[in-house]
Amino acid sequence: MAKIVPRPNLSIWEQVYFLEVAKGLATTMGHAVRNLVNPDRFETTDYPEAKLQVPRDYRARHRLMKRPDGAPRCVACFMCSTACPARCINIVAEESPDKHIEKRPARFEIDLLLCVFCGYCVEACPCDAIRMDTMDLVLVADNRRAFVIDKEKLMDWQPTEYPVDDEQSQKAPGGILHAKALEEFHSGTYH
Amino acid sequence: MIDWLAAHLHIIVALALPVAVPLILFQVLPLMVLIERRGAAYIQDRPGPNRAGINIHPGMLGAFVHKGFYLVGPAIPLIIGLLTPALLPWFAPITYQVAGQAEAVTIFGQSLMAESGLLLFFALGSLSVYGVVLGSWASNSKYPMLGGLRASAMMISYEVSMGLAVLGMLLIVGSFSLTDIVEWQGNHTWGIVVQPVGFLLFLVAMFAECNRNPFDVAEGESEIVGGFHTEYSSMKFMLFMTAEYLHMIVAAALIATLFLGGYHLLPVGGFGTVWVRQHIGPVLGVLLALGGAGMLAFAWLITRRRAAYLRKAHSDNASRNREYTVYAVVFALLGLAHLGAGAAAWLLLPVPTAVIAAGGLAIFPWWASLLTAVVQFSVILVKTILVCGLFVWVRWTLPRFRYDQIMALGWKVLLNIALVNLLVTAVVTKLVK
């Protein structure tokens, strides 16, 4: 069924149009002059130099969490790659030298060109080994292979880049809670 | 050597002017791109582009195009844009006496002293639509053809109103010569005062002629991709854009010449060329001071912009800071230099004494005439840039008209108003004269 759009009822001055044009010109010039005199009014930023703050729960590029000794927390259970709707996670498992842990990833690759940034892998992970809180949302490379990031790249992060109250991030090597975590780790109370 | 130069100066200027004026207008062109982009940004509450670069790309030539016409297409509007400035008077004729010669020599500020100056201008200007039509037809593709059809229909429709809008001005002046029109405005008042309706009509018609908003249906990117230049890329596309901007600058210069007093300073009679030559010192002083004040204000605005940028920038990008600093310093220094030059001109320049030649012509010293020519050229250039600014301002204010609205406006509204305006002007002119 066709929708009938009613014609606007224009007054004679609006039909003459020149007055409306003048009003429009006044509006735009008002904006231009105000912006010229007060450059703080801009709605946008000088992008590469000034960036807007992204919320901490924004789903950006992934990272792999680390144990206090620097090993990946991942146990290569394939839950994330199974949950992934884009099938962008490729894991090769191997036996872990730690007798308490069965497996560890020999390779852990994420193809960021395939990834849809849905966050299902984070939800699926049983041991909080993968997160998407790097806030790294500008992914640039000059070839497709470079968008496939490996285990080293995923674990290449510093605890100082994350909030102090994020205990899990801070317990990583170099973190301010690392010494305490390592102590807990060796005394067997680490969780 | 000096004698030979003095005796042949008018020939040298006559030969140099047709080359120099388009070259100077070419320098206005990048300025126009800057005004366009920055003006658009500031109107839309954003800082605008902070990166600029040139992309040298070989460009593509479709296998389906008609190569000859396709390559000629962008050249035609560019040639027209470079030819038409020759018809405009850029400064008043300078008359001077060479020692040892009986007759005074005159340097004209107009390359082509045609009696039918305005008619020739319109004749040349209407040719530029051929470039658009030829380019669009030779592209052998659907969107360009639609754009070319729209362009040809629109530009031809608005040429009628454009011609009729100017006729009122011509009736009042009584001449087709652009020199006469400008001189009349110097002796009486600007054209916009005696022909306000004609000015508005001409302005609207010129928007349509230049394919500018709100009449840019020929390249309506929301419906027909790029319109007539869809199949063009790289340098060939740039020629089209150059021609478009050049066309706009020339149109603005024509509007300034016809309705805004041309190279004359004030919209009041009695302040024409002779008055400027007599008072060249104070006139230069005031104008340079105004320019200097403008530059200082600009430097201040850049300083504010730099401060705002530094407040928000996370990473300290040294090259960007330096850019703002350089601009602020350069414009501040230029402003101060202009203020100083203005003061020097006012205080140091002597009052020129005119010699009355055989024909009752007042001949001023060469320096007074030369400085006056510089002032007049600057005046018309500033007027041209201001009208170009109006083009930009309107572009970022009004939405594009629908094609049928354009046709209705052109044939049913503008044409009638132009005819009534012509009739009223004719009657009033007859009664007054």
Q: Model confidence over B25-38: pLDDT tens digits?
A: 888 888 888 889 99
Nearest Cα of chain A lies from the Cα of B248 at a distance, in angstroms, of 19
Using CA atoms, how far residue B112 sits from B179, B257, B270, in Å, is: 11, 15, 27
% of residues, chain A, pLDDT over 70: 97
Q: For chain B, how many helices (H) and strands (E)? A: 17, 4
Lowest mean pLDDT among B4-8, B125-129, B159-163: B4-8
The predicted model gives A151-162 an average pLDDT of 88
Q: Which residues pair with A72 in a beta bridge?
A: A66
* Region class of A128: left (phi > 0), else alpha (psi between -120 and 50), else beta: left
Contact status of B314 with chain A (Cβ, < 8 Å):
yes
Q: How many domains does chain A have?
A: 1
Contacts of B271 (CB under 8 A, 6+ apart): B186, B264, B265
The predicted model gives B263-277 an average pLDDT of 82
Using CA atoms, how far residue B93 sits from B101, B178, B183, B245, in Å, is: 19, 13, 11, 28
> pLDDT for A170-182, tens place per residue?
877 766 667 777 7
Nearest to A28 among B46, B50, B397 (CB): B397
> pLDDT for A56-91, tens place per residue?
888 999 999 988 878 888 989 999 999 999 999 999
pTM for this predicted structure: 0.81
Residue A111 backbone dihedrals phi, psi, to 5 degrees: -85, 105
Residues B289 and B338: beta-carbon distance below 8 Å? yes
Please classify residue B170 by burial: count the beta carbons closer than 10 Å to its beta carbon, then call 0-12 exposed, 13-18 middle and 19+ buried.
buried
Residue A55 lies in a domain: no
Residue A76's domain is classified under what CATH number?
Answer: 3.30.70.3270
- For an interface test with A, the pick among B197, B215, B397, B412 (most A C-beta atoms closer than 10 Å) comes out as B397
User: Which pLDDT does position A176 carry in this prediction?
Assistant: 66
Residues B46 and A32: beta-carbon distance below 8 Å? no
d(CA A138, CA A143): 15
- Tell me how many residue pairs between chain A and chain B have CB atoms under 8 A apart: 70
Is the sign of the CA dihedral B45, B46, B47, B53 positive or negative?
A: negative
User: Which pLDDT does position B99 carry in this prediction?
Assistant: 67
Residues A74 and A104: beta-carbon distance below 8 Å? yes
Residue A109 backbone dihedrals phi, psi, to 5 degrees: -120, 140
Query: Which two three-digit tokens encode residue B64?
Result: 């389906």
Lowest mean pLDDT among B30-34, B213-217, B319-323, B418-422: B319-323
Residue A10 lies in a domain: no
Compute the half-sphere exposure of residue B348: CA atoms within 13 Å on the CB side of its CA.
Answer: 6
Residue A181 lies in a domain: no
Query: Which two three-digit tokens encode residue B103?
Result: 């007759």
**Domain encompassing residue A146:** 63-158
Q: Which residues pair with A109 in a beta bridge?
A: A90
The predicted model gives B86-93 an average pLDDT of 86
Nearest Cα of chain B lies from the Cα of A165 at a distance, in angstroms, of 23
User: Which pLDDT does position A190 carry in this prediction?
Assistant: 65
Residue of B206, B197, B155, B179 lying closest to B387 (CA atoms)? B206
d(CA A109, CA A145): 11
Q: Which residue has the tokens 């292979």?
A: A145
Domain spans in chain B, listed from the N-terminal domain onward: 2-44+64-265+380-432
Is residue B269 predicted with pLDDT exceeding 80? no
Using CA atoms, how far residue B9 sits from B74, B96, B106, B107, B433, in Å, is: 36, 10, 9, 8, 40
Lowest mean pLDDT among B120-134, B183-197, B227-241, B313-327: B313-327
> pLDDT for B188-217, tens place per residue?
888 888 889 999 999 998 888 888 878 877
Is residue B83 predicted with pLDDT exceeding 80? yes
Q: Beta-carbon neighbour count of residue B145 at 10 Å? A: 18
At residue B389 the predicted structure's pLDDT band, cuts being 50, 70 and 90, is: very high
d(CA B185, CA B269): 7
Show residues of chain A in contact with B43, CB under 8 Å. Answer: 28-29, 31-32
At residue B405 the predicted structure's pLDDT band, cuts being 50, 70 and 90, is: confident
Strand B362-363 and strand B355-356: the pairing is antiparallel
Residue of B224, B60, B231, B211 lying closest to B136 (CA atoms)? B231
Residues B109 and B183: beta-carbon distance below 8 Å? no
Residues B199 and B192: beta-carbon distance below 8 Å? yes
Contact B320 A49 (CB under 8 A): yes
* Region class of A111: left (phi > 0), else alpha (psi between -120 and 50), else beta: beta
Residue A129 lies in a domain: yes
User: Which pLDDT does position B128 carry in this prediction?
Assistant: 82
Query: Which two three-digit tokens encode residue B65?
Result: 């195009």
Contact A51 B314 (CB under 8 A): yes
Residues B185 and B263: beta-carbon distance below 8 Å? no
3-state DSSP: chain A helix, strand, coil percent, rounded to 5? 35, 15, 55
Residue A126 lies in a domain: yes
Q: Beta-carbon neighbour count of residue A115 at 10 Å? A: 22
Contact B39 A35 (CB under 8 A): no
d(CA B143, CA B134): 14
Query: Which two three-digit tokens encode residue B254?
Result: 């024509």
Report DSSP letters for B276-289, one per residue.
HHHTHHHHHHHHHH
The predicted model gives A42-50 an average pLDDT of 82
The predicted model gives B39-66 an average pLDDT of 83
Is residue B317 predicted with pLDDT exceeding 70? no
**Bond from prior residue into B18 cis (ω within 30 degrees of 0):** no
d(CA A80, CA A135): 20
Residue A146 lies in a domain: yes
> pLDDT for B292-302, tens place per residue?
999 999 999 99
Q: Which residues pair with A89 in a beta bridge?
A: A110
Contacts of B186 (CB under 8 A, 6+ apart): B261, B262, B264, B269, B271, B272, B273
Contact status of B393 with chain A (Cβ, < 8 Å):
yes
Is residue B153 predicted with pLDDT exceeding 80? yes
Lowest mean pLDDT among A106-110, B52-56, B110-114: B52-56
d(CA B298, CA B327): 9
Helix (H, G, I), strand (E, B) or coil at B105: strand
At residue B315 the predicted structure's pLDDT band, cuts being 50, 70 and 90, is: low
At residue B154 the predicted structure's pLDDT band, cuts being 50, 70 and 90, is: confident
Q: What is the mean pLDDT of chain B?
A: 85
The predicted model gives B107-135 an average pLDDT of 83
% of residues, chain B, pLDDT over 90: 19
At residue B360 the predicted structure's pLDDT band, cuts being 50, 70 and 90, is: low
* Region class of A163: left (phi > 0), else alpha (psi between -120 and 50), else beta: beta
Is residue B366 predicted with pLDDT exceeding 90? no
ipTM over 0.85: no
Contacts of B403 (CB under 8 A, 6+ apart): B150, B154, B217
At residue B272 the predicted structure's pLDDT band, cuts being 50, 70 and 90, is: confident
d(CA B243, CA B130): 13
Is residue B423 predicted with pLDDT exceeding 90? yes
User: Which pLDDT does position B241 carry in this prediction?
Assistant: 86
User: Which pLDDT does position A175 carry in this prediction?
Assistant: 66
Is residue B365 predicted with pLDDT exceeding 80? no
User: Which pLDDT does position B359 carry in this prediction?
Assistant: 64
Query: Which two three-digit tokens encode residue A108?
Result: 């852990």
Nearest Cα of chain A lies from the Cα of B87 at a distance, in angstroms, of 32
Contact B397 A46 (CB under 8 A): no
d(CA B391, CA B252): 9
- The vertex-B117 CA angle with B115 and B121, nearest 5°, equals 155
d(CA A133, CA B274): 75
> pLDDT for A86-135, tens place per residue?
999 999 999 988 777 889 999 999 999 999 999 999 999 988 899 998 88
d(CA A50, CA A44): 10
Is residue B357 predicted with pLDDT exceeding 70? no
Contacts of B124 (CB under 8 A, 6+ apart): B80, B83, B84, B87
Q: Which residues pair with A91 in a beta bridge?
A: A108
* Region class of A75: left (phi > 0), else alpha (psi between -120 and 50), else beta: alpha
Nearest to A42 among B39, B47, B394 (CB): B47
At residue B419 the predicted structure's pLDDT band, cuts being 50, 70 and 90, is: very high
Nearest Cα of chain B lies from the Cα of A29 at a distance, in angstroms, of 7
